[in-house]
């Protein structure tokens, strides 16, 4: 079985400060890794993904995540957050031999204040 | 039109009633999924389908059933709704040819059981 642990349920941060949202997974085989974002009262949007290749992946709005196989982690970072980054963030993994079903963490609520 | 359409968007129903949530897609994907989202629990997989003849239980299938009427349609039923099935339900599709990359989510159905 595989599981995803998001270590922080809530992360309050001031605008323009850096932020890291932590994600660890457990799996004995190769996985694909994702971060999804859910803005208030909206659906899920893919933020970034790691499938293979470079372990550092970046989104168009300044977020980045690094796949660390030895630590089984996929932490999400942004050097300077904006008010508009306030949202729920979900880490997810999937494996080919589980029907490509996404297994989600419980989510981290990022609250950015002035 | 959206690639993955869920109906209804919102529904309030009474305990013991049968209710069906519908999902249709125009992506042409074979794989379809139903998830439920609860605050603090993230998204959990209810059922998934590889094609019309292949239905699989997910993590929390008890109390739910599904029907894959066609490649494009995947319905979720609650045979006798109970209050703890109050949640936000998401349908999703994926394209296995893209290695788990091609997930598309619907906008969600907010179900309240009173």
Q: What is the DSSP letter of B101?
A: -
CA-wise closest residue to B2 among B33, B19, B25, B31: B25
CA distance B93 to A44: 13
Q: Which residue of chain B comes nearest to A49, CA vs CA?
A: B101
Binary contact (A107, B42; C-beta < 8 A): yes
- B/e letters for A28-67, b = 16+ CB within 10 Å, e = fewer, are eeebbbbbbbbeeeebbebbbbbeeeeeebebeeebebeb
Q: Which residues of B touch A (CB under 8 A)?
A: 31, 33, 35, 40-45, 48, 50, 56, 58, 90, 92, 94, 96, 99-101, 103, 105-108
The per-residue pLDDT for A97 is 63
Q: Of A24-28, A52-56, B29-33, where does mean pLDDT reach its minimum? A: A24-28
| Separation between Cα atoms, residue A114 and residue B4, nearest integer Å | 36
Answer whether B46's CB lies under 8 Å from B77's CB: no
pLDDT band for A28, please (50, 70, 90 cuts): low
List, edge to edge, every strand of the sheet that includes B4-7.
B4-7, B19-25, B73-78, B65-70
Residue of B nearest to A37 (CA): B42
Chain A: residue nearest B42 by CA? Answer: A106
CA-nearest of A21, A38, A109 to B35 is A38
Query: Is residue B104 within 8 Å of residue B24, measured between CB atoms?
Result: no
Contacts of A43 in chain B (CB under 8 A): 90, 105-108
Q: What is the mean pLDDT of chain A?
A: 90
Give A31-83 pLDDT, tens digit per residue. Answer: 889 999 999 888 899 999 998 888 999 998 899 999 998 999 999 999 999 99
Give the model confidence (pLDDT) of B2-15 as tens digits. 799 999 999 999 99
Neighbours of A85 (CB within 10 A): 20
- Mean pLDDT across the stretch A92-109? 83
> Chain centroid to CA B83: how far?
18
Handedness of CA B42, B74, A34, A72 (dihedral sign): positive
SS3 A67: strand
List for chain A the helix, strand, coil content (%; round to 5). Answer: 5, 50, 45
- The C-alpha atoms of residue B99 and residue B95 are separated, in whole angstroms, by 8
DSSP state of B9: S
- Closest-CA distance of chain A to residue B14, Å: 24
* pLDDT of amino acid A94: 83
User: Cis peptide before B8, with omega less than 30 degrees from 0?
Assistant: yes
């Amino acid at each position: 079985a595989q599981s995803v642990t998001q270590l922080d349920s809530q992360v309050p941060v001031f605008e323009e400060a850096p932020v890291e949202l932590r994600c660890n997974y457990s799996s004995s085989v190769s996985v694909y890794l994702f971060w999804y974002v859910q803005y208030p009262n909206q659906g899920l949007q893919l933020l970034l993904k790691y499938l293979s290749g470079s372990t550092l992946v970046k989104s168009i709005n300044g977020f980045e995540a690094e796949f660390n196989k030895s630590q089984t982690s996929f932490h999400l970072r942004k050097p300077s957050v904006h008010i508009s980054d306030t949202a729920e963030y979900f880490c997810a993994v999937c494996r080919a031999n589980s029907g490509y079903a996404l297994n989600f963490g419980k989510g981290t609520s990022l609250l950015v204040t002035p | 039109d959206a690639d993955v359409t869920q109906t209804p968007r919102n529904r309030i129903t009474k305990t013991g009633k049968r209710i069906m949530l519908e999902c249709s897609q125009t992506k042409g994907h074979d794989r379809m999924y139903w998830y439920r989202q609860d605050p603090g629990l993230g998204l959990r997989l209810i059922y998934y389908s590889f094609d019309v003849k292949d239905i699989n239980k997910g993590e929390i299938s008890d109390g739910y059933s599904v029907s894959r009427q066609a490649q494009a349609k995947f319905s979720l039923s609650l045979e006798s709704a109970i209050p703890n099935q109050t949640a936000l339900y998401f349908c999703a599709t994926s394209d296995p040819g893209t290695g788990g990359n091609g997930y598309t989510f619907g906008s969600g159905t907010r179900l309240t059981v009173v």
